[in-house]
Amino acid sequence: MNRPQNLAELRESGWRSKTVKQEIHDNFLRLLATGEDLFPGIVGYDDTVIPEINIALLAQHDMLFLGEKGQAKSRLMRTIAQFLDEAIPYIDCPEAPVHDDPYRPISKPCKELVAQRPPEEVPIAWWPRAERYAERLAPGTKFADIIGEIDPAKLAGGASMSAEETLHFGLIPRMHRGIFAMNELPELDELVQVGLFNILEERDVQIRGYPIQFDIDVLILFSANPATYNRSGKVIPQLKDRIGALIQTHYPRRRELGIAIFEQEAGISLDGEYPVVVPYFMKEIIEQISIAARKSKYIDQQSGVSARVSMANFRTLVASARHRAAVLGERPAVARISDLGHLYASSLGKLELDMMGSHQMTERQVLDAVTAEAIGAVFHEYVDRHGLAEMNEIFSRGVRIECGDMLPSAAYAELLERVPPVWDKAFEVNASQDPAVRASCIEFILAGLYATDQISRSEGHGRIVYEI
């Protein structure tokens, strides 16, 4: 595609100038009418968050995404960039601090260039969509970083302190005609918040008391955690008042949605030289651990339990099974309850204890309690659907059973010479034919019986012993 290279050609092409919000509005409305998925990879928000974003885009609002950690706030903000044009023209002037609209330049160098040269001599370049989105994390961000500062070198060169050319512009002015996103808004210094308030209200830049008539055209997005955003004094009221739309995010409201998210986002292959099979009940337990943690009195709920907990735990589960496969030569390896013993590494750094509720419990004890609760919840559901008697009849003869993540699957085979038919139906896996699958099912039932206080358990030297 041959794009116009100067102002005269641009005018002849029929290209029309739009504000960035109008540009997004028009592109979004056109795509909305096609019925295609406009937020690919976003799971669980179809009936809640997505409709609110749609309305905010059509209303041409600046937006605040309010939710706890791991609720895809940053991802949603980045997704909005897809509704920009593939590329937009700007005046190709090296002295200009921004990508000036050829029809409505705001910087002094570009205004002079358009005024002094014929259209054929005003060069045009094209700014691609990928470069029109910028993002910043609030902690540590200074006024000069996102608004601007007076440039001492230019002052030394004889420029006036109140002149535009004396200023070094920050990220927001440089994203003129683009999108700027600020993560963790409440952590932003109050002075910087005042600067943002002025941009949202007047769309101009004020640096050290010198108002520069710099008509900024930018869509501004914010993210924040409710615990800090709603705390008095963390965000100035004037700034809150100028944000057009507040989009509230949430954790998956159904377990299967959480499973779909971590399967999609974990980024770990189950194939390869040592393939891994993860029974669905193991996936349910991984997600149920996060669900139980979000309700636990021992965990600080204001901090939240990110979806990244499930992602990291799923990767650890698969890695533990693959480790067993490589050492013992099992193909495929089947994930089982004893693999959950490695979740300390992937969970503890992501969970913050409630110092009032946890009393003297250690982080490991809290995670053990949460995991036991999750196993019990999933086990109860299987029992309710398929009956307890047929599931545990094999273990009702007063036996002692040892389990472990490095115990070969063959060691479980002699426990079950005949697999009850209900097992294959209940677990939707071939427990009667595959020793590794059978081992996983046995461990699940034993852990479930223990979680429901029907058998006892002892641990030591990397092994778990169940006594019935």
Parse the chain into domains and list their residue ranges: 7-248, 255-467
Query: For tokens 């029809």, what's the residue?
Result: 103
CA 214 – CA 198 distance, rounded (Å): 12
Mean pLDDT of 215-241: 91
Bridge partners, 212 (sequence order): 205
Lowest model confidence (mean pLDDT) among 308-317, 363-372, 427-436: 427-436
CA 217 – CA 18 distance, rounded (Å): 10
Bridge partners, 334 (sequence order): 277
Given a contact cutoff of 8 angstroms between Cβ atoms, the answer to whether 249 and 45 are in contact is yes
Dihedral of the CA atoms 57, 28, 250, 362 (nearest 10)? Answer: -110
Peptide bond into 332 cis (omega under 30): yes
User: Distance from first CA to last CA of the chain, Å, rounded?
Assistant: 75
Chain segment 104-136, per-residue pLDDT in tens: 999 889 999 999 999 999 999 999 999 999 999
What local confidence, expressed as pLDDT, does residue 356 receive? 63
What local confidence, expressed as pLDDT, does residue 162 receive? 58
Query: Which H helix or E strand runs over 339?
Result: none
Mean pLDDT of 129-157: 84
Query: Which H helix or E strand runs over 224?
Result: strand 218-224
CA 317 – CA 303 distance, rounded (Å): 25
Q: Is 399 helix (H, G, I), strand (E, B) or coil?
A: coil
Q: Does residue 373 have a pLDDT over 90?
A: yes
Amino acid making up residue 321: A
Polymer length in residues for the chain: 468
Question: Which two tokens mark 139?
Answer: 């902690």
Shortest CA distance to 218 belongs to which of 80, 70, 38, 404? 80
Q: Does residue 224 have a pLDDT over 90?
A: yes
* CATH 3.40.50.300 is the classification of domain 7-248: yes
pTM: 0.88
What local confidence, expressed as pLDDT, does residue 389 receive? 67
Q: Does residue 161 have a pLDDT over 60?
A: no
b vs e for 233-242, b when ≥16 Cβ sit within 10 Å of the residue's Cβ? ebbeeebeeb
What local confidence, expressed as pLDDT, does residue 395 receive? 66
Mean pLDDT of 198-214: 70
Mean pLDDT of 368-387: 89
Specify the higher pLDDT residue, 381 or 434. 381
Question: CB count, 10 Å around CB of 407?
Answer: 19
Q: Where are the alpha helices (DSSP H) in 414-451?
A: 421-427, 435-451
pLDDT, averaged across the chain: 88
Confidence of residue 441 (pLDDT cuts 50, 70, 90): confident
Chain segment 59-92, per-residue pLDDT in tens: 999 999 999 999 999 999 999 999 999 999 999 9
Mean pLDDT of 403-417: 81
CA 348 – CA 357 distance, rounded (Å): 17
What local confidence, expressed as pLDDT, does residue 137 receive? 94
Chain segment 12-62, per-residue pLDDT in tens: 999 999 999 999 999 999 999 999 899 999 999 999 999 999 999 999 999
What local confidence, expressed as pLDDT, does residue 60 receive? 97
What local confidence, expressed as pLDDT, does residue 252 receive? 94
CA 366 – CA 197 distance, rounded (Å): 43
